[in-house]
Amino acid sequence: MGKEIVRQESPSEPGKRSRLWFYEDICHVLEENTGTSKIKGIMMNFPEEHHEISLSANSFSRMKNLQIFINRNARFSETRVDYLPNELRLLDWPKCPLQTFPSSFNPKKLVEINMPRSSLSQLGEGFKRLQNLKSMSLEGCKFLTETPNFSGFPNLEDLNLNYCTSLVEVHPSVGFLDKLICLSMRGCRKLTKLPGRVHLKSLESIDLSHCGRLKNFPEIVGKMESLGEMNLSGTAIEELPSSIRYLIRLYSLKLSNCKNFTNLPCSIYELQNLQFVYLRGCQKLVRFPNKVIPTYSNDIAGSLTLPNLSHLYIEGANLSEIDFLGTLDCWSRLGILDLSGSNFVRLPEWITKFVNMQELNLVGCKRLVEIPDLPPNIYSVDVSGCISLERFAKLPNILE
């Protein structure tokens, strides 16, 4: 009904309608350059793949008031466009063939840009002050070599640069975006450098996983009270800064397969909300830090050590001792503990204090000789490959 009303705005000249949906109309307007300033929206979501649309350099030149451009599955032939409307609010163009935007393109009203798997190598001079921009997704733009200065994007909430495989570094301004909620740069395999300092007070999640050349994590300047998830798995990071103590809402920390990771800071014990820790495959991590009680706080609750930790995965970390577990205050919370591949000889007797532990994995602990009493509620214990295991003391029913 709505589409028919729009069609009646100009039955014979689609370039004079406010919105365009139909394949034939869009082809006519773009290929024949018959667009006008009346067009405010173009939405291409065709039921099946059509033939390639031939853009010209001036296909958009008459659409001065175009606000919405959505392309779901149309293919275009041209790799150069001389004009895009500055009135655009939404630019949704996956697999865009453009290598850069026109020099005249200055989309100050842009709210969302979604251009995954595009041919862009840079965004251009017009991307300097986008006060209204909230979401930017350039996932899979494998030719993108640089990012803009983000200081002109004060309202940016979501930044997705996943699999931008030519990206070496990001502009330092990304570390101080007050409204940024989600930062994702997964699989940027050439990324070597992040800003030296960050303070992202609204950030809720950060994903830098599989950035295989990334060696350093930034210093955190002041409390970041919103960050809950941090995924650094598969990076070349060697250690975390002591300033992670400022991630006071962090509940999930992933560092699996960080082959060069050697050191956790003592300040990790100050993360009161941490529930999930993944350190699988951290081959150079041979010990946990000694517990250090902060001297700056008289708050007893605040001095508890990881009181909410429920899942701890340290498979393949070559731990020679696990005494640090005895200093934790998560006796009633820890449910899953994976120590597979570790080098300790004896499971300490205090393991029984983890009264709600349900799963214990000791696969491949080749030096393990003895297992004492186990927690009362445990239902799964895997000792496959424990070739030196000799003694069990007071085994629960699961192993009888």
pLDDT in tens, 220-257: 999 999 999 999 999 999 999 999 999 999 999 999 99
Residue 349 reports pLDDT greater than 50: yes
Confidence of residue 189 (pLDDT cuts 50, 70, 90): very high
Q: Which run of H or of E encompasses 311?
A: strand 311-313
C-beta atoms surrounding 335 within 10 Å:
19
pLDDT band at 398 (very low <50, low <70, confident <90, very high): low
Task: Calculate mean pLDDT across residues 23-43.
Answer: 89
Those residues whose C-beta lies under 8 Å from the C-beta of residue 311, and which sit 6 or more positions away, are: 275, 276, 277, 334, 335, 336
Average confidence score pLDDT of the chain: 89
Mean pLDDT value of segment 181-203: 96
Q: What is the pLDDT of residues 36-58, one digit of tens each?
A: 999 999 998 876 666 678 888 88
pLDDT number for residue 400: 44
Enumerate the β-bridge partners of residue 184: 160, 207
The 8-class DSSP code of residue 205 comes to E
Tens digits of per-residue pLDDT, 317-342?
888 888 888 888 999 999 999 999 99
Reply yes or no on whether the pLDDT at 136 is more than 70: yes
pLDDT band at 314 (very low <50, low <70, confident <90, very high): very high
Q: Which residue do the tokens 């349900």 mark? A: 358
Other C-beta atoms closer than 10 Å to the C-beta of 180 total 25
- CB of 365 closer than 8 Å to CB of 384: no
Q: What share of the chain is helix, strand, coil (3-state, %, to 5)?
A: 15, 15, 70
For the cut 70, the answer to whether the pLDDT of residue 4 exceeds it is no
Predicted pLDDT at 191:
96
Q: Are strands 112-114 and 90-92 parallel, antiparallel or unpaired?
A: parallel
pLDDT the model gives residue 3: 61
DSSP-assigned letter for residue 302: G
Residue 80, pLDDT score: 80
Three-state secondary structure call for residue 305: coil
Among 79, 84, 82, CA closest to 107: 84
Per-residue b/e over 234-244, b at no fewer than 16 CB within 10 Å?
bbbbebbeebb
Q: H or E stretch including 286?
A: none
Q: What is the radius of gyration, based on Cα positions, of the chain?
A: 28
Tell me which of 298 and 195 has the higher pLDDT.
195
* pLDDT at residue number 308: 96
**With 70 as the cut, is the pLDDT of residue 313 above it?**
yes
Residue 295 pLDDT greater than 80, yes or no = no
Beta bridge partners of residue 219, listed in sequence order = 197
Report the greatest alpha carbon distance in the chain. 88
Counting DSSP H helices and E strands in the chain, the numbers are: 2, 20
pLDDT above 60: residue 399: no
Portion of the chain with pLDDT greater than 70, in percent: 90
